[in-house]
Structure 1
Amino acid sequence: MDEGNPTRRRTGDRADAPSGGRRGGLGRGLSSLIPTTPVPVAATATSPLTVPIDAVEPNPYQPRGTIHPDHLETLAESIRQHGVVQPLVVNLSPEPGRYVLIAGERRWRAARLAGLDTVPVVIKEASPQHMLELALVENVVRADLSPLEEASAYRQLIEEFGLTQASVAQRVGRSRVSVTNTLRLLAAPDGVQAALAGGEITEGHARALLGLGTSADQLVGLRHVIDRGLSVRQTEEMVRRWLDSDTDRSRADRPAGRDVEELRLEDRFRGALNTKVAFKRRGPGKGGTLTIQYYSDEELDALYRRLNGEDVW
């Protein structure tokens, strides 16, 4: 079938996925990863074929978790008018008469939503690693992955397929530093990752918060960012001042050991006051100090209102 001809419609089928926003393009595309040497004609074809849409299965290595319903409906409407102009790239399934998507999942889902019976495909050979790489490149080029989805795909290439960060960077057309910074997002505590996935903060906010030494500090910093609507630059400045305050306290003045109860109390004060606090005990039964950090006059006023129920000024 000519790839420009519309394909036949079907009835009743709907897409089953939601997707994310765009984040920018790359210099390399799928052509850098799809093999140029044709595979045996008996097994595959190098020109578009028409196959039943129900014979195509999603890529099990697809890194993207969601497709935005509005984006999918827009593409489905275009497909209703013009058909699937660009063929899907598929691999032969071990099950006769079935195919596994390598690239084009959004087109496949939109074609289902548009009610097509058949879709055009190009069959290529691909190993599991190659299928992940192809899906990853397609999504990164089109900016369809969230930062955490991209980081998880990088980690899978490294842990499951033994690639180095430099190899991953070369395959997806990013710098090694960019891959390293994206992978660092997976080290953030669950609360920070949830805020990033939910759109409450950006990738830049999350990377800045990772500069804080502990997960507890990062979660306190996260509350500051969300409650005060801080920009990435303001978050970076908050982290810098936070770390400066740590440096200014001499380690010699700190107790050699911290018991579990003291750490628990410190964490509860952080949660209650929504800011950084630090205990310094002089010894059993001898009292000590509780240091409460604030980073602006607005935060001081908020702390005072928490403690006293009225404005400080």
Structure 2
Amino acid sequence: MAKRSGLGKGLDALIPAGKTTGGEAGGVTQVPIDLIQRNPRQPREKFDMTELENLAASIREHGVIQPLIVAPGRGGVYTLIAGERRLQASRKAGLKTVPVVIRNASDQQLLELALIENVQRADLNPIEEADAYQNLAKEFRMSHETIASRVGKSRVAVTNTLRLLDASAAVKQALVDGRITEGHARAMLSLSAKAQEHLLNQIINLDLSVRSTEVLARKLSGQRPAVKKKSGRSPNVSDVERKLQSSLGTKVALKHGKRGGTVTIYYYSDEELDSLLEKLT
């Protein structure tokens, strides 16, 4: 299988392989499964039970092929860093011990590594991912750009994911259940919770596209639908606008006239504003 790249810092980057504790040759040792506790920073809450049962059947037949990563704790108890599915499946398979690599990790590293493992495997739903980003931002004062570099995503992608936390409870649940997409949820963020739920029912009942949802959201918020004007813009102006958007990582509107013009830079959070100020000053 081809190795995935561009996914931010992995385990060895955050906790160098040399920083192991104990263990046998190669750093792998067997640990009683009852002495391993779940990572308290694990962002993932929902697991596919069918997949777990299939993995448990494979473990019964072949054992645990890839060791779990754990951190030493008090009283001989270990905290799981990476390998949540393998740990749960091993318990289902009835294993008494599992192979582990022991490494020291801070609270921040526990959250980062659990997040990275899940993002790389696309295991988190959008709300779990947003909650994890929020924990990194609030508890460890990490900027959106720093979070993005950790998980191998753009800053805009991280910011857009965090915006989903502003959705109503009903919209967030529909997103978790897979009844709507992130695009649907973001289109409703400007509406009140009641209006979001009204539009949510229409999306589900009528199977509306994201574009249709955006149009209805504008109507519900009292905005007039955008009127398409014939483009009289110079290709050079459009090119400059695209370059500005690429450089600043956000939406930019450039209006050019005979005696000058205006540049409008959009931002969607205080974090984005701080980032823009750093780039512009």
Common topology (TM > 0.5): yes
Matching residue within 202, 218, 225 for 1:224 = 202
* Contact 1:25-1:141 at 8 Å conserved across structures: no
Q: CA deviation at 1:228?
A: 1.3
Sequence identity of aligned pairs in percent? 48
* 1:162 corresponds to: 141
| Structure 1 vs Structure 2 CA RMSD | 2.4
* 2:29 corresponds to: 49
Work out the CA distance in 1 between the residues paired with 2:21 and 2:84: 25
Work out the CA distance in 2 between the residues paired with 1:110 and 1:227: 37
- What whole-Å deviation, never above 9, does each CA across 1:1-58 have from its counterpart, x for those lacking one? xxxxxxxxxxxxxxxxxxxxxxx99634633544225237569986110111111111
* Contact 1:195-1:201 at 8 Å conserved across structures: yes
Work out the CA distance in 2 between the residues paired with 1:81 and 1:43: 25
Would the alpha carbon gap of residues 121 and 142 (structure 1) be closer, same or farther in structure 2, given more than 3 Å must change? same
Work out the CA distance in 1 between the residues paired with 2:61 and 2:6: 29
Would the alpha carbon gap of residues 37 and 84 (structure 1) be closer, same or farther in structure 2, given more than 3 Å must change? closer
Q: CA deviation at 1:194?
A: 1.9
* 1:63 corresponds to: 43
Work out the CA distance in 1 between the residues paired with 2:87 and 2:125: 20
Work out the CA distance in 2 between the residues paired with 1:49 and 1:34: 21
Would the alpha carbon gap of residues 246 and 179 (structure 1) be closer, same or farther in structure 2, given more than 3 Å must change? same
Would the alpha carbon gap of residues 45 and 179 (structure 1) be closer, same or farther in structure 2, given more than 3 Å must change? farther
Would the alpha carbon gap of residues 229 and 154 (structure 1) be closer, same or farther in structure 2, given more than 3 Å must change? same
- What whole-Å deviation, never above 9, does each CA across 1:190-211 have from its counterpart, x for those lacking one? 121122122221222111222x
* 1:21 corresponds to: none
Matching residue within 101, 118, 130 for 1:139 = 118
Work out the CA distance in 1 between the residues paired with 2:25 and 2:77: 14
Q: CA deviation at 1:146?
A: 0.6
* Contact 1:91-1:126 at 8 Å conserved across structures: yes
Matched, 1:185 2:164: yes
SS of 1:162's equivalent in the other structure is: coil
* Contact 1:76-1:111 at 8 Å conserved across structures: yes
TM-score of the superposed pair, with normalisation by structure 2: 0.72
Would the alpha carbon gap of residues 44 and 58 (structure 1) be closer, same or farther in structure 2, given more than 3 Å must change? farther
* Contact 2:20-2:104 at 8 Å conserved across structures: no
* 2:223 corresponds to: 246
Q: CA deviation at 1:241?
A: 4.9
Matching residue within 195, 203, 206 for 2:182 = 203
Matched, 1:93 2:73: yes
* 2:268 corresponds to: none
1:10-25 residue pairs with structure 2 within 5 A?
Answer: none
AA in 2 matched with 1:138: E
* Contact 2:20-2:27 at 8 Å conserved across structures: no
* 1:73 corresponds to: 53
* Contact 2:148-2:155 at 8 Å conserved across structures: yes
Q: CA deviation at 1:214?
A: 2.8
* 2:247 corresponds to: none
Aligned residues, how many? 222
Work out the CA distance in 1 between the residues paired with 2:220 and 2:6: 36
Work out the CA distance in 2 between the residues paired with 1:80 and 1:136: 28
> Is the deviation greater in 72-81 or in 150-159?
72-81
* Contact 1:45-1:123 at 8 Å conserved across structures: no
Q: CA deviation at 1:240?
A: 4.4
SS of 2:27's equivalent in the other structure is: coil
- What whole-Å deviation, never above 9, does each CA across 1:237-261 have from its counterpart, x for those lacking one? 3334555x5348xxxxxxxxxxxxx
Q: CA deviation at 1:152?
A: 0.3
AA in 2 matched with 1:235: T
* Contact 2:8-2:149 at 8 Å conserved across structures: no
TM-score of the superposed pair, with normalisation by structure 1: 0.65
Work out the CA distance in 2 between the residues paired with 1:121 and 1:226: 45
